[in-house]
Structure formats: structure tokens, C-alpha cells
Amino acid sequence: MQEEVENRTVNLAISTTKLTTRYIIAGLRTFNQYRKNKKLQKARDPAIHGKQTVKQLLGQNQGATNVEIDKTGIKDFERLAKKYGVDFAVRKDKSVDPPRYIVFVRAKDADALDAICKEHQARSLTKGKKPSVLAQLKQFKELVASLPKKIREKKQERGL
């Protein structure tokens, strides 16, 4: 009887090991298939989109145009370029003091570059006119501080 139980236990251990091994092998096959599909997908669409190096941009063989931008406008340009879906590369020219920043854009995106420049100019013109949030907050704090204390306490009591 004991020998029969031992044989069944050994058979169960062997069969579960085989089953586990099969699942591991199936998982590895699935992973390898996934990697092959990713490689094929990259081979079909090698272009990188958005911000990239000048070498990658020129490697697309579509020509490039360039625009000079000051340091403070780079982040705004990146946001707008992402909005318009433009491929671009930023290059820092250290030969001049202060350094210049040159933005290279694909030649076929020249129309989008014009739109980006117009929107950037419009934002920069309205930026000085619009009061900052911190300035507005300071004004409201002063307004609240100038109110009589009794009025403030009544409003607090009514709110509860």
C-alpha cells in the first residue's frame, strides 16, 4: 500500500513538472513572437517623431529649414511643435556669446512652422497684458484683509 502511494506521488510530481515546463516554453515562444513583431513594426516605420537629433532629422531625407530662437522661447516652441505634430531638432550655437539656439524643422513642415511662429508671437504679446495668478491672489488677500472682522465671522458662521 505504501509503495503504491509513493508511486502515485512521484507520478504526480513528474506530471506537474512536465506541465509547468510546457507553460514556461509556451510563454517564451509567445515572448519571442512579440519581440519579432516589434522588430518588424520598427522596420516598417523607422521615423522618429517629435524632438530628435539633427542627424536623425536629416536622415529622413526630406530636407530641413531652420529658425533662430532665444533661450526663453524653447519650451514654448516645444509645446507648440508637439501640438502641431512637427518633427524638429534643437541645436545650441556656442560660438556666439550669449549662445544662440537654432531649431531645425523638416522642409515639408514649413507651413506648420509659420503657424507655430504666429501663435508664439500672439502668446508673447498677450503674456504681458494678462495679470499673473500670483498677483491676482495677492490682490484678493488684501481685499479679504481689508474687510471688517465681524463680516468675515458672520460669513463663517452662516457657512457652517
Sheet with 88-93, edge to edge strand ranges: 64-69, 100-106, 88-93
Q: What is the pTM of this model?
A: 0.49
Please give the pLDDT value at position 156: 60
Could you give the CA distance from residue 104 to residue 52 in angstroms, rounded to a whole number? 10
DSSP 61: S
- Amino acid code (one letter) for 89: A
pLDDT at 28 over 60: yes
Q: Single out the residue of 78, 64, 89 nearest to residue 120, CA to CA.
A: 78
Q: Annotate 65-120 with three-state secondary structure.
A: EEEEECHHHHHHHHHHHHHHCCCEEEEEECCCCCCEEEEEEEHHHHHHHHHHHHHH
| pLDDT tens for each residue of 94-113 | 888 888 888 888 878 888 88
Quick one: which of 90, 53, 46, 55 has its CA closest to 71?
A: 90
Q: pLDDT at residue 126 above 80?
A: no
Q: What is the mean pLDDT of residues 31-43?
A: 86
At a CB cut-off of 8 Å and minimum separation 6, what does 23 contact? none
